């Protein structure tokens, strides 16, 4: 397959994925690329997050590993549109190397750019490599009732709802090896018939084990 044809195929798969990702999320989940909370988001926040995600996936079109996390976090993907990534890493004073030349944007309405704790572990571990692309078992943001800026573990039904999007995401990168970050991701891949390598999740004291596992890829 020529490079031009491969690029066209990637764009076709990507466009289909992003279009289907716009479907409503299950109840009690915030949909970063569809929903907007006027207390925290700019008027066109969902479109900004979708554009950020599209630019990120294009920048990692040659990925050899899909690193699958658990769910969107309130300081990360919920505002940036990109898993394990805060706004500060996209448009802050020291943005990630892959963002150069891309028109990325914040979606939060005010205050400091959002910073995610796990992102501060994941991206230094990845460095400038584009061999790994990030996604979540539950692409939406699970939060506690009445606390939109909080995180909670996704329930089994929410992970099951994310399975269709996970299959479509893996189809964007058919040659990439799926790798589970945490047990939720490992179980989700297993339900799709994928036996994946396992990495310790970087949160809750897992930083060292996660970075060692990442270095082994």
Residue 177 pLDDT > 90: yes
pLDDT tens-digit series, residues 62-118? 999 999 999 999 999 999 999 999 999 999 999 999 999 999 999 999 999 999 999
SS3 sequence of 154-205: CCHHHHHHCHHHHHHHHHHCCCCEEEEECHHHHHHHHHCCCCCEEECCCCCC
Which of 1-15, 62-76, 201-215 holds the top average pLDDT? 62-76
Higher local confidence (pLDDT), 29 or 217: 29
CATH H superfamily, domain 3-215: Uracil-DNA glycosylase-like domain (3.40.470.10)
pLDDT tens-digit series, residues 80-89? 999 999 999 9
Residue 174 pLDDT > 80: yes
Residue boundaries of the structural domains of the chain? 3-215
Residue 1 pLDDT > 70: no
Nearest to 136 by CA among 52, 203, 72, 50: 72
pLDDT of residue 108: 98
pLDDT of residue 151: 97
Higher local confidence (pLDDT), 64 or 3: 64
Residue 5 pLDDT > 90: no
* Contact predicate 90/104, CB 8 Å: yes
Read off the pLDDT band of 4 (50, 70, 90).
confident
pLDDT of residue 3: 75
pLDDT of residue 6: 78
Read off the pLDDT band of 203 (50, 70, 90).
confident
Residue 126 pLDDT > 90: yes
pLDDT tens-digit series, residues 33-54? 999 999 999 999 999 999 999 9
pLDDT of residue 57: 98
Tell me the average pLDDT of the chain. Answer: 95
Q: Where are the alpha helices (DSSP H) in the chain?
A: 3-21, 45-59, 77-80, 87-91, 119-126, 156-161, 163-172, 183-191, 207-215
């Amino acid at each position: 397959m020529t490079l031009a044809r491969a690029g066209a195929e990637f764009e076709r798969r990507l466009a289909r994925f992003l279009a289907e990702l716009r479907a409503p999320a299950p109840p009690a989940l915030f949909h970063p690329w569809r929903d907007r909370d006027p207390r925290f988001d700019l008027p066109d926040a969902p479109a900004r997050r979708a554009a950020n995600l599209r630019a990120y996936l294009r920048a990692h079109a040659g990925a050899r590993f899909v690193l699958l996390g658990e769910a969107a976090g309130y300081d990360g993907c919920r505002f940036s549109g990109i898993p394990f990534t805060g706004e500060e890493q996209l448009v802050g004073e020291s943005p990630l190397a892959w963002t150069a030349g891309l028109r990325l944007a914040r979606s939060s309405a005010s205050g400091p750019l959002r910073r995610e704790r796990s992102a501060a572990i994941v991206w230094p571990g990845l460095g400038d490599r584009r061999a790994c692309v990030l996604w979540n078992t539950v692409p939406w943001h699970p939060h506690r009732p009445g606390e939109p800026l909080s995180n909670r573990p996704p329930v089994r039904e929410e992970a099951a709802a994310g399975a269709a999007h996970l299959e479509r995401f893996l189809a964007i990168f058919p040659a990439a090896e799926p790798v589970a970050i945490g047990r939720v991701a490992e179980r989700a891949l297993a339900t799709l018939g994928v036996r994946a390598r396992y990495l310790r999740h970087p949160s809750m004291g897992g930083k060292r084990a996660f970075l060692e596992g990442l270095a082994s890829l």
